[in-house]
Amino acid sequence: MLLSELQNRLSSLVPRRNAILQLEDQSLESKMPQPTKTTVMVIGGAEDKVHGREILQTFFARSGGTEARIAIIPSASREPAVIGERYRAIFEEMGAKAIQILDIRERAQGEDPIWQDYLEGCTGVFMTGGDQLRLCALIADTPLMEKIRLQVQLGQIVLAGTSAGAAVMGHHMIAGGGSGESPNRSLVDMATGLGIIPEAIIDQHFHNRNRMARLLSALASHPDRIGIGIDEDTCAMFEGDGLIQVIGKGTVTIIDTSEISHTNEPFVGATDPLSLFNLRLHVLCHGDCYDRHKRTVIAGAYRSPN
């Protein structure tokens, strides 16, 4: 009887033990960093605002469609009220649930709790074009920008930036420069961006304004970064799983510096030509993807022209 009773008691403890182990596993899993579904949409500028609006429609859909609550930041523009209203009209026509223009013209406004309160329920933030230096001067390192950065990291919002709003995404930012020359240090002006995608240096209106040499010049001084040049009406969508997906009518040029073996950048004058050895170049179009972790490309399905 004693042996039988002991076996019964032991058998009754097994389910309890398994339940405890399961709870412990769930608790441990909840404490581990979880992958986000963040989408950061980096747009090369001049996106279609009239006809198919493919890029803007994608931002609208990923922000929740008719349930989207969108914040528009037009601070890069010299006419923020005009450009803000233009995008408001577009997203209203699409059917967004709520739209707010964060017309920030002084840094102190970035500390206004009203904007931070609105961001609590926001599903998408759109930064317009203009002057990237102006945009960074107004919102970089403000409580508003830190709130946006945290929401992006947590996968709570979709962040999009076009033209100047795209240039600010990296930690190192192309602030200006020339085109049409051989790569040289004087061809590009660098500044500090918003650091949303810190490993990238981004240039926009890329092939449309012949900016390959400018991006190469930037990479010569920051060879630990990846270069991304985005054409007009084209978007590089940075997904939370490490993929960059391309949509739009142009191309996204990716310059992989992970195997760079030499540059003469530290040893030549400001206007002397630069050499860069062993770069890897990828040119992606609609539907193509690039895996940032594996540094590999994935071809998309062919799309016939309309």
181 in catalytic set: yes
Cβ atoms of 70 and 63 within 8 Å: the answer is: yes
Is 163 marked active-site?
yes
75: which DSSP letter?
A: T
CB 125 within 8 A of CB 94: no
Distance separating the N- and C-terminal Cα atoms of the chain:
84
Residue 88 and residue 92: Cα distance in Å, rounded?
6
Contact at 8 Å (CB) between 132 and 76? yes
In whole angstroms, give the CA distance from residue 99 to residue 69: 6
Question: Which one is catalytic: 47, 163, 217, 265?
Answer: 163
Query: Residue 82 contacts by C-beta under 8 Å, 6 or more apart in sequence?
Result: none
- Please give the structure tokens belonging to residue 207: 């092939």
Q: How far is CA 298 from CA 35, 137, 257, 283, 290, in A?
A: 21, 37, 19, 11, 6
As a whole number of angstroms, the distance between CA 284 and CA 232 comes to 14
- Which of 47, 63, 75, 205 is flagged as catalytic? 205
Which candidate in 85, 146, 181, 239 is catalytic? 181
Cα separation, 108 vs 114, in Å, equals: 12
User: Is residue 205 annotated as a catalytic residue, yes or no?
Assistant: yes
In eight-state DSSP terms, residue 35 is P
Per-residue tokens: 215: 């991006």
CA distance 293 to 65: 30
Q: Please give the positions annotated as active site.
A: 163, 181, 205
